[in-house]
Amino acid sequence: MAAKMFSLAACVMLFYDILITMGDEVERIWMRSYTHMTILWVLNRYISPLGYIVIIVSFHDPWSKSVCDRYVLFPEALKVVTSFTIGGMFVLIFILRLYAIYYRSLTVAVSGGILLAAELAIKIWSFTDGTSLNLPEGLVGCILVGRTHIRFAFTWIAELAFDSIIFFATVYRVFQYNRLRHGTGETLLDRILHDGVLYFAVIFIANLVTVLIFMLAPPDIKAINASFSTLITTLMASRLILNLRPESKVGGVVGAAHVTRNL
């Protein structure tokens, strides 16, 4: 019951955030020219909450065993789609900036793409180990857990690794760039670093807690933080985009590519 209520609260949190940021979304997304980021925005912003309506229903509705067995992998399939979408945002926000500030290094761009592909592959491998939780008599719900808890936890371990590598590579190069650039004032790279720190900290902690729970908690509450970690990732990615869109007109990334000649 605690896992069900926590998942419902996480879903309400995401819908509330969509509501209070709708004005910014209209101004910074829909009143701008449509780009690849617009498509990724729609997928990230609305696929997760719509998908989680189904998940919340599955937690509280007395589905038959046959229906649950057909459906049970849906939450992790949704997470793979969400990861692909957020990974695409990472490509556009971080990896392309890394490509610029690492003097347009093809190695950096290719490495980022390989990391994203590896993350998705590991997640697909880990969630196919999922099965439905056997609930005590009198309780209903179709809840996904792993047959092998360590393997299932790699869904979040892969995300921890991908985010950490991209984030620290960005931090390292931005600090180098800022030591050499001339002039003062905040650039787009500074804003990416500032917002990226907050994004990384929140997502890292949420995913780390999920991994620890899957490793250490009793079987009936292993999935308690899974919904929150997925939905907070969606929320933070949306906030990151909304914060960066006003800064996208400011120079900084292109100039960084020239400064890196001296790094």
Where along the chain do its domains lie? 2-262
34's enclosing H/E stretch is none
Residue 41 in this model has a pLDDT that exceeds 60: yes
Higher per-residue confidence, 210 vs 94: 210
pLDDT-derived band at 38, boundaries 50, 70, 90: confident
Task: Please state, in angstroms and rounded to a whole number, the distance separating the CA atoms of residues 99 and 107.
Answer: 9
Residue 257, judged by CB atoms within 10 A of its CB (0-12, 13-18, 19+), counts as middle
Q: Note the pLDDT of residue 97.
A: 65
Q: Is the pLDDT of residue 210 over 80?
A: yes
Q: Which residues contact 114 (CB under 8 A, 6 or more apart)?
A: none
pLDDT at 87 over 80: no
Give the fold, CATH level 3, of 2-262.
Rhopdopsin 7-helix transmembrane proteins (1.20.1070)
Instruction: Quote the pLDDT of residue 257.
Output: 42
Mean pLDDT of 37-63: 85
Task: State how far the Cα of 190 lies from the Cα of 173, in Å rounded to an integer.
Answer: 11
240: nearest Cα among 205, 191, 206, 207: 191
Taking 50 as the threshold, does the pLDDT of residue 53 lie above it?
yes
Of 98 and 13, the one with more pLDDT: 13
Do 10 and 228 touch, CB atoms closer than 8 A?
yes
Give the pTM: 0.77
Rounded-to-integer distance, Cα 198 and Cα 213, Å: 23
Of the candidates 205, 236, 143, which has an alpha carbon nearest to the alpha carbon of residue 213?
Answer: 205
Of 28 and 138, more confident: 28
User: In this structure, is the dihedral angle defined by the CA atoms of residues 35, 36, 40 and 46, taken in order, positive or negative?
Assistant: positive
Please name which of 227, 254, 237, 245 lies closest in space to residue 200, comparing C-alpha atoms: 237
pLDDT, position 19: 95
Convert the pLDDT of each residue in 98-151 to its tens digit.
666 666 777 777 887 888 888 888 888 887 877 777 777 777 778 777 777 778
